[in-house]
Chains A and B, each alone.
Chain A
Amino acid sequence: MDEHRNQRRHIRLGRARRGYIGVIQGLVTKGAGSALPDAELESRLIELGFVEGARVEILHEGIVGRDPIAVRVDNITIAVRRREAMAIVVA
């Protein structure tokens, strides 16, 4: 199981579609395109539970450009824009 997961391709959560299930591999805020400074974006993501190892699932997408997305992070649901979700690397 773990071996299989390690082989999955790393992608940005901001590119994933509704129904995607994965595990957070890391946060890469550089070049995510958020209006926030890198450290601030990373801090906020961590404060909302986006840390390495957390299980994520995209539950809903907004109507305009499939944005924002509602993400299940372990056992809470967070609404976030795709722009910020680009900083979250999942597999």
Chain B
Amino acid sequence: MHLALVGTPNSGKTALFNALTGSRQKVANYPGVTVERKEGSFVTPHGRQVSLVDLPGTYSLRGRSPDEEITRDIVLGRTRGESLPDLVLCVADSTNLRLTIRLLLELKKTGRPIALVLNMFDIATRRGVTVDVYRLSEALGVPVVTSIAVRKGGTADLLRLTDQILSRARPASGENLWHPPTVPELRATQREADRIIAATVSLPARPDTWTARIDAVVLHPIGGLAILLLILFVMFQAVFAWTQPLMELLSSAFEGIGQLVHDTLPAGLLQSFLQNGVISGVGTVVVFLPQIIIVFLFILLLEDFGYMARAAFLMDRIMGGAGLHGRAFIPLLSSFACAIPGIMATRVIDNRRDRLTTILIAPLMTCSARIPVYTLIISAFIPETEVWGWINLRGLVMFGLYAAGIASALGLSFLVKFFMWRDYLPAPFMLELPDYKTPRVRSIAIGIFNRAKMFLKRAGTTIFAMMVLIWFLASFPQPPVGAQDAAINYSLAAIIGKAIAPLLAPLGFNWQIAVALIPGMAAREVAVAALGTVYAIEGGKEAAEQIGQVLATKWSLATALSLLVWYIFAPQCASTLAVIRRETGSWKWMALTFVYMLVLAYAASLATYNIAVASGAG
């Protein structure tokens, strides 16, 4: 049996999906807003196995954006390889039925069996909304059930209803009479919806006083922006400072395992492979899991709380000045975690040109994969001091790197708007500002768990493969017997690194950096592990203890700063490029992204290095 969840944005659809399926989800890889297909399964009280898809939120079936088209096509059975849902669950925020009832009337035309789920029923009751469920069901001609997705047992009625409907041979499905509604039809449906609501729902609906109070502060033209900046600032301080103890713990654990292998196995290729290739390679990446969790914790909390839409409201005109849509805020904020979900999330922007601009600049947002590189270099070169007594200097540099990414993204977007699309009128910004809700631990936990799993999977596959490759490149061919220099100086890695080193020399990069940048194309964080491998193998076991300490002795401050700046801009991520190719459907956009980022990176690093050397940091 296949069920599909359909509903307007903010109807609590995803919370309901989480409540029903729990951990039995086939994870969409992409966080933030519901953009990609999410499937899960659950068992009804009568033991029926049911699969459930969570479809992107929409106000109508007209399909005005790619994700709304997905919803329409699945409901209409137009998607190849997707089963037509046996039952469509239309999810409504019980405090706000108007838009959903209209959507439901439209859904009825598709002929699919439908049930209406009055979600967040507890909040509606608290606000004095009473619904005559029986009469509503009669008026709509579909079963209606109440639910409280966030409470234990809050979906019991829904489960019972599912059993009831599914126990009939097959839910009867009618003929599909749906066609895109015209304006008069829309208006007529809305009137019909309002008439049904007037007859079955009593609305003393006091507006949510908490939402009004919070909004008075949070949407204040000046105060609101200050709060937004403060939230971002706290987020970066948290990512940098709070995660330290855990990261040190992980780091020493992997070191311990490596040492154990070193002590148990005889010296030789296998020992070197396991310790320097496998364990230190994967270890250097896994260490950054705490930071990734903190980033997603903030994003998910803000999303669940209802703040994201406010942030878009505050940023709309400011981003509009740079040629961006207010809705681009969410994809761009997600890009701070990873550009891949961010680029996928641009599907919420329905205007093609707005969407392409956002995709183009999304990789400039500081993604979590840059954090390992930034952290490594900052902790090696920037002293642990306090500025003005309370701001951590390292945190401040980190903030500066983020700010540089944002500033360059806005600047670039402005240029794109000015030069490529001069004849262009901005697409409308229309967004519901949902009532604030207490974020639920469970749904945040599921979200973080899914993302952490994704990251580890990447660390365990792509990055692991790259680490083995770099170990191979750095170990073969082996040095001739009686060689005086370090072993890596005879390896393939050195040959490649030295070949491209002259190109990178003006940026202050030595050949070791050049070597690390090559596998760093697979994923930015690989460069850290690669540097570790290159230097560890070069200096023997002792040097592997602390990559940072080694770098501090081998690089000048100017080189370190230049590499930091390189990482703000450089297109060092093959997966991002692949996603751009997929989302834009063209190689042109992918190539354009690659070239502009490379040019920016080279120019900015060149400038940084020369300014740093000139001011005595060479």
Instruction: Give Cα distance in the complex from A77 to B309, angstroms.
Output: 11
Contact yes or no, B219 A67, CB < 8 A:
no
Contact A34 B314 (CB under 8 A): no
CB neighbours (8 Å) of A19 from chain B are none
Q: Mark B47-68, 1 if CB is under 8 A from A, else 0.
A: 0000000000001101010000
Instruction: Indicate whether A11 reaches chain B with its CB closer than 8 angstroms.
Output: no
State which of B14-22, B143-151, B262-270, B427-435 sits at the interface with chain A. Answer: B427-435
Taken residue by residue from 8 to 52, chain A's Cβ proximity to chain B (1 for < 8 Å, 0 otherwise) reads as 000000000000000000000000001110011111111111010
Q: Which residue of B lies closest to A69 (CB)?
A: B313
Question: For chain B residues 109-150, which have a beta carbon within 8 Å of chain A?
Answer: none
* Cα distance, A74 to B418, chains bound together (Å): 39
- A43, A61, A70, A77 — which one has the most chain B CB atoms within 10 A of its CB? A77
Asked if residues A68 and B222 are in contact (CB atoms below 8 Å), the reply is no
Which one of B98, B212, B429 contacts A79 once the chains associate, using CB atoms below 8 Å? B429
In the bound complex, do residue B183 and residue A80 qualify as a contact, i.e. CB atoms below 8 Å apart?
Answer: no
Residues of chain A with a CB closer than 8 A to B585's CB? none
Chain A 54-87, CB-CB to B under 8 Å as 1, else 0, gives 0000011111110110101011111111011000
Q: Does B99 contact A (CB under 8 A)?
A: yes
By the criterion CB–CB under 8 Å, are A75 and B313 in contact? Answer: no
- Choose among A51, A64, A65, A78 the residue that contacts B191 (Cβ–Cβ < 8 A): A51
B505 contacts chain A at the CB level, 8 A cutoff: no
How many contacts A-B (CB < 8 Å)?
A: 123
Name the residue on A nearest B316 (C-beta). Answer: A68
- Contacts A47-B102, A78-B430, A79-B309 given; does A59 touch B221 at CB 8 Å: no
Q: Are A48 and B430 in contact (CB under 8 A)?
A: yes
A64 touching B317, Cβ below 8 Å: yes
> Which residues from chain B contact A70 at a C-beta distance below 8 Å?
215, 219, 313, 433
> Is B243 interfacial (CB-CB < 8 Å)?
no
Q: Who on chain A is nearest to B194 by CB?
A: A51
Q: Roughly how many angstroms separate A65 CA and B221 CA in the complex, as a whole number? A: 11
Q: Which residue of A lies closest to B309 (CB)?
A: A79
CB distance from B170 to the nearest CB of A (A): 32
- CB <8 Å contact, B60 and A47: yes
Q: Which of A41, A42, A51, A79 meets B312, CB within 8 Å?
A: A79
Dominant SS among interface residues on chain A? mixed
Q: Nearest chain B CB to A45's CB is how many angstroms away?
A: 8
Residues of A close to B326: CB separation below 8 A? 68, 79
Interface residues on B, range: 35 or more
Query: What's the least CB distance linking A60 to chain B, in Å?
Result: 4
Minimum CB distance partner of A73 in chain B: B98
Complex Cα gap A37–B321 (Å) = 23
Are A35's CB and B425's CB within 8 A?
Answer: yes
* B457 contacts across to A, CB distance below 8 A: none
In the complex, what's the smallest C-beta–C-beta distance from A88 to chain B, in angstroms?
12
Known A-B contacts A49-B99, A74-B98, A75-B205; A63 and B317 likewise in contact (beta carbons under 8 Å): yes
B187–A46 CB distance below 8 A = yes
Q: Is the CB of A47 within 8 A of B59?
A: yes
In the bound complex, CA of A36 to CA of B427 (Å): 7
* Bound Cα distance from A77 to B186, whole angstroms: 20
| Residue B43 at the chain A interface, CB threshold 8 Å | no
| B183 and A43 contact, CB distance less than 8 A | yes
Say yes or no: B430 contacts A80, CB within 8 Å: yes
Q: A51-B191, A70-B215, A81-B428 are in contact. Are A42 and B183 (CB under 8 A)?
A: yes
B411: Cβ under 8 A from any A Cβ: no
B317 touches A62 (CB 8 A): yes
Q: Using CB atoms, name the residue of chain A closest to B207.
A: A75
Closest-by-CB residue of B relative to A47 is B59
B311-336 vs A, CB cutoff 8 Å, 1 = contact: the mask equals 01110111011000010000000000
User: Which of B181, B313, B326 neighbours the largest number of chain A CB atoms within 10 Å of its CB?
Assistant: B313
**Contacts A47-B59, A51-B191, A61-B221; A78 near B313 (Cβ below 8 A):** no
- Could you say which of A44, A51, A79 contacts B316, with CB atoms under 8 Å apart? A79
B161 contacts partner chain A, Cβ-Cβ < 8 Å: no
Q: Is B426 an interface residue (CB 8 A)?
A: yes
Interface presence of B408 (CB below 8 A): no
Q: Is B225 an interface residue (CB 8 A)?
A: yes
By beta carbon, the residue of chain B nearest A61 is: B221
Contact among A41, A49, A67 for B317, CB-based, below 8 A: A67
Interface 1/0 per residue, B420-445 and A, CB below 8 Å? 00000111111111100000000000
Cα separation A84 to B430 with both chains bound (whole Å): 9
Say whether B62 contacts A62, CB under 8 Å: no
Residues of B within 8 A of A80 (CB): 428-431
A76 touches B313 (CB 8 A): no
Least Cβ distance of B468 to chain A in Å? 50
Question: Residue of B at shortest CB range from A42?
Answer: B183
Residues of A within 8 A of B321 (CB): 64
Contact status B219-A60, CB under 8 Å: yes
On chain A, the residues within 8 Å of B309 by CB distance are 79
* Mask: chain B, 167-192; 1 = CB below 8 Å from A; 0 = not: 00000000000000111001100110
**B residues near A48, Cβ cutoff 8 Å:** 59, 99, 430, 432
Enumerate 5 A-B pairs (CB-CB under 8 Å) in ascending A order.
A35-B428, A44-B428, A51-B187, A64-B320, A79-B309
- Using A68-B313, A70-B313 as known contacts, list a sample of 17 further A-B pairs with CB atoms less than 8 Å apart, ordered by residue number in A: A44-B430, A46-B187, A47-B99, A47-B102, A51-B194, A59-B219, A60-B313, A62-B221, A63-B224, A70-B219, A74-B98, A75-B207, A76-B98, A77-B434, A80-B430, A81-B428, A84-B430
List the 6 closest A-B pairs by CB distance, nearest first: A35-B425, A64-B317, A63-B221, A77-B433, A47-B59, A60-B219
